[in-house]
Amino acid sequence: MVIVLFGAPGVGKGTQAEILAEKLRIAHMSTGAAFRSAIQAQTPVGVLAQSFVSQGKLVPDDVVAKIVEEFLAKPEFTKGYILDGFPRTRAQAEDLDRMLTASGGAIDHVVNIEVDDQTIVTRLLQRGRQDDQEDVIRRRLEIYNNETAPLLDFYGKKGTLTSIRGVGSVEDVTSRILAVIA
């Protein structure tokens, strides 16, 4: 089973991915974890990604896809997995489709966790991280809306997309997701 969790920064994708991975007994891949792993291991693609990161540049889609592909090749991903933070662009979505087709797989569910912008801003400000300043949060939401949200249409046309309300308790949101993927 392959599940993609979608939603703006702060909707709870990471939290839900961890819970669902445990409940479903499948692996979870966070893009951040994949990047850190590739960079720390100094894999060829990790070294390439680090060259962009160290210059303060965005890592190109093809490099991101290679990092994800390398990460998903690990044995724990053979029984299915949850993706959190990938894909973020149309090019990444197409790369993911190619990866899955090559391995005989497909996305089973794309779950979009919907939370309004003001609730997201409030959540992230309460988190208290150094980079969680309101102007930075609003910029991240703008980037999400411009670059990633269009993928909802892409997956909607494929028939794999379901949106759920991301407000309420963590358990309520988990129940909504499980109802969709069951």
Q: Is the dihedral of CA 73, 140, 165, 110 positive or negative?
A: negative
What integer pLDDT is reported at residue 182 of this predicted model? 84
pLDDT at position 130 is: 84
Within-domain flag for 51: no
87, 93 contact by CB (below 8 A): yes
Provide the pLDDT for residue 150: 93
29 strand-pairing partners: 83
Q: Is residue 147 domain-resident?
A: yes
Listed in sequence order, the residues at least 6 apart from 18 whose beta carbon sits closer than 8 Å to its beta carbon are 28
Q: Considering the domain boundaries, does residue 136 fall inside one?
A: yes
| Domain-located, residue 148 | yes
As a whole number of angstroms, the distance between CA 113 and CA 2 comes to 16
Give the CATH number, domain containing residue 21: 3.40.50.300
Residue-level pLDDT at 57: 86
Residue 56 has what pLDDT?
A: 82
Helices (H), the chain: 13-24, 31-41, 44-53, 61-72, 90-102, 117-127, 134-143, 151-158, 170-181
How far are the Cα atoms of 9, 44, 52, 93 from residue 13, in angstroms, in the given order?
Answer: 8, 29, 26, 17
**pLDDT the model gives residue 131:** 78
Q: How far apart are the first and last CA of the chain?
A: 11
Total count of domains within the chain:
1
Q: Is residue 107 part of a domain?
A: yes
For residue 34, tell me if it sits in a domain. Answer: no
Q: What are phi and psi of 60, to 5 degrees?
A: -60, 150
Whole-prediction pTM: 0.92
Under-70 pLDDT residues of the chain: none
- Chain center to CA of 135: 22
Residue at 12 is within a domain: yes
Is the CB of residue 33 less than 8 Å from the CB of residue 85?
Answer: no
Domain encompassing residue 107: 2-27+80-181
Asked whether residue 36 is domain-assigned, the answer is: no
